Amino acid sequence: MLGTDTPTGVPVVARDAVVLSLPEINALSLRAARGAGYEWGLAEELGVAAVWLAERGFTWADIILDRLAGDHGADPRPATVRWHSAGPVCGLRAGAALADFAALPEGVGVQGVEIGAVLTPQLLLPFAAQAARVINCPCEISQNDTLWAYVTADSVLVVSPATGHTQTATLSVRRTDRRPDRGQTAAPTTCISRTTYAQLDRFARRMTVPATALSQARAGGDTPDTD
């Protein structure tokens, strides 16, 4: 979304782009999740996850739109070694469960846990970082039986090409003694296209209450506003 550098070295933002602060990314993602029908707790989790992804250079807006516009999937049922579900699970719900159960027998554990088919697999990364913080140990994630990423409490290192965010991948997570020398470095992705912003905003607007003639007349009070 950034144009060619100017002679002063300052990048030019494309005319069809919107630049958001990290708090704005959080708020927009939260509101969009609520508008898409996710409960408040998961919507708040998605806002935090969006900021985590943006800070590390991931295409957070595309990842979130895939989750909000697509099939919401099944709920994961955490269990030791292998989780259960009625079908491919929602990446947001799977991630939240991974963080919640991190230190429990149904969590990462010594042998790890197979989550199964996950919709929007990239959404698991921020929550794996939360799990790594809880167990005070890095985690490694395998995608379709191939090592995909190392995640610590503060960083991520993707070591193999990932399945596209619009696809489903079979994921497993386990703790590891290996500590990567470096994390993934990339400029924060705080700039998105106006088209993408409009799609997220369309979801966000669903959580607003339409104005009525009565609400406008009373301006929020119990009696008509005649000032």
Q: How many domains does the chain have?
A: 1
Taking the model in full, what pTM does it have? Answer: 0.83
Mean pLDDT, rounded, for 175-188: 74
| pLDDT above 80: residue 5 | no
Q: Which domain holds residue 153?
A: 2-208
Residue 59 located in a structural domain? yes
Sign of torsion over alpha carbons 26, 174, 155, 62:
negative
Tens of pLDDT, residues 20-43 = 999 999 999 999 999 999 999 999
Chain segment 93-129, per-residue pLDDT in tens: 999 999 999 999 999 977 889 999 999 999 999 999 9
User: Mean of the pLDDT values across residues 134-148?
Assistant: 92
Domain for residue 227, yes or no? Answer: no
On the question of pLDDT at 149 being above 50, the answer is yes
Is residue 92 in a domain? Answer: yes
C-alpha triplet 83, 144, 176: angle, nearest 5°: 70
In a domain, 219, yes or no: no
**According to the per-residue pLDDT averaged within each range, which of 44-48, 152-156, 165-169 is highest?**
44-48
Q: Which of 154, 153, 102, 151 is nearest to 122 (CA)?
A: 151
Res 218 pLDDT > 80? no
Q: How far is CA 160 from CA 80, 97, 115, 176, in A?
A: 27, 25, 19, 17
Q: Which residues of 82-115 are buried (b: 16+ CB within 10 A; e: fewer)?
A: ebebeebbbbbbbbbbbbbbbeeebbbbeebbeb
213 within domain boundaries: no
Q: Is 104 left (phi over 0), alpha (psi -120 to 50) or beta?
A: beta
Contact between 33 and 46 under an 8 Å Cβ cutoff? The reply is yes
In a domain, 214, yes or no: no
Whether 67 is covered by a domain: the verdict is yes
Instruction: Round the average pLDDT of the chain to a whole number and report it.
Output: 85
pLDDT class of 180 with cuts at 50, 70, 90: low
Residue 89 lies in a domain: yes
